[in-house]
Amino acid sequence: MSAITIPGTKKQIPIGIIMLAVLSIVGFYAMTIRWVDGLGIATNLSDTRPWGLWISFDLAVMAFSGSAFTMAAVSHILHKNKYHNIARVALIGGYVGYLSAGAALTVELGRPERLWHFFAYHNLHSPLFEVGMCVIAYTGILTLEFLPMLFKKLKWGKMIKVMRAIEVPVVVAGITLSTGHQSSLGSISLILIYKLHPLWYSPILPIIFLASAMTSGIAMTMLVGFIGTRVFNWEFRKGVFSGLGRILLYASIFTLLLKLGDLAWSGELGLLFENSLQSKIYFIENVAGYVLPIIILLIPTLNKKWSWLFRASVLSIIGLVTHRMAVSFFGLAGADYFPTWQEFASTAGLFSVGIILLWIIADNIPLVVEEH
């Protein structure tokens, strides 16, 4: 990878990271416009179209952060020790994802200096209050799970012992909280019974959100692991990626059957053939995100090759992104809406900051350690 050496040091920064830094600066400028001048000048959202690109980014990033609790369950609860190292990678991916989602909420809601109002003037009956508390609490738990890696880098032995003493309850709390949080994101859409297209509206949306988050979490873990083997020369135990591929296969089959079964039960299967924009998006979501990965992972000559496992993980992620954008964007009724350059720039900036932060952590803290 092409890199630039910082003068006076031996530290090299990849060209891609520098380009992402430029996008981050442009994104911060767009976010400043939104904070200072308000929604009117920074977005094309309206009273009949209150959700758009920002909320889609939030929903997708939080779903990808499902990699942390899914791999924590596989590694710590099911005691699949060969996944220990890649579970650490998934943890960092989830941690960065939740930090990005929290930052995106300050853009969506505005007035970050009034964040303390969330605690002082809370509304216990609001589902958004539950979502906000889960984001804050789970980010705190991911911080506790990340600290042992940082303390090991700093060689703070006593603090490592303290963190290890509370490791099990922290992991269990994280899995429990994130499981409830992922499903509650779907619960918010239950109030959209007359606004969300029937292809996506369902009484079991919380279950669909949870299942798709677990599926995409496995796919995101594989994707970050594959990239890490190329960029950071990470080495995982033999059979890690093929094993994750099998888990992704079962999760994809379950999620696809859940979604199609729900349509059949509600008598809405005919909507698949109405030749509308929504039906085409639904086909893209499920064919690209579930059918194609399932086919790849079912063929023995493909499901053992890293190149095809990589393709399956990318396709699964595309399916998740399409679903979240459909629920919060394409599938909603309302005025015509197309994001402004500020919306695109701020979203790209937040994404860039997340990638940069992930690179900084991976480049300075040994996430994949030698196991004995």
Phi-psi region of 172 (alpha: psi -120 to 50; beta: other; left: phi over 0): alpha
| 198 pLDDT higher than 80 | yes
Q: What is the pLDDT of residue 255?
A: 96
As a whole number, mean pLDDT of residues 166-184 equals: 82
Distance CA 230, CA 253 (A): 29
Question: Under CATH, which architecture does the 3-364 domain have?
Answer: Up-down Bundle (1.20)
Percent of the chain with pLDDT over 70: 95
372 pLDDT tier (thresholds 50, 70, 90): very low
As a whole number, mean pLDDT of residues 184-195 equals: 85
Q: What is the pLDDT of residue 6?
A: 62
Q: What's the whole-number average pLDDT of the chain?
A: 87
Dihedral of the CA atoms 280, 184, 135, 24 (nearest 10)? 10
- Selection from 6-20, 46-60, 188-202, 276-290 with the highest mean pLDDT: 276-290
Task: Find out whether 24 and 352 touch, Cβ atoms under 8 Å.
Answer: yes
Q: Which two tokens stand for residue 122?
A: 């809370």
| 353 pLDDT higher than 80 | yes
Between helices 167-188 and 127-154, what is the axis angle to 10°? Answer: 150
Give the domain ranges of the chain: 3-364
Dihedral of the CA atoms 53, 55, 56, 59 (nearest 10)? 160
Task: Find out whether 213 and 181 touch, Cβ atoms under 8 Å.
Answer: no
Each residue's pLDDT tens digit, 28-66: 999 999 988 888 888 988 888 888 888 888 888 887 777
Q: Which two tokens stand for residue 118?
A: 């969330």
Is the pLDDT higher at 22 or at 112?
A: 22
As a whole number, mean pLDDT of residues 344-361 equals: 92
Question: What is the SS3 assignment for 234?
Answer: coil
Each residue's pLDDT tens digit, 204-257: 999 999 999 999 989 999 999 999 998 888 888 888 999 999 999 999 999 999
Q: What is the pLDDT of residue 317?
A: 94
Each residue's pLDDT tens digit, 89-143: 888 888 888 888 888 888 888 777 888 888 888 888 777 787 778 888 888 888 8
Q: Which residue has the tokens 């990699």?
A: 67
Each residue's pLDDT tens digit, 246-257: 999 999 999 999
As a whole number, mean pLDDT of residues 80-91 equals: 84
Contacts 24+ apart (CB under 8 A), 334-337: 334/46, 334/48, 334/49, 334/195, 335/46, 335/48, 335/49, 336/49, 337/44, 337/45, 337/46, 337/49, 337/52
Longest CA pairwise span in the chain (Å): 68
| 370 pLDDT higher than 70 | no
The whole-model pTM stands at 0.89
DSSP 337-361: ----HHHHHHHHHHHHHHHHHHHHH
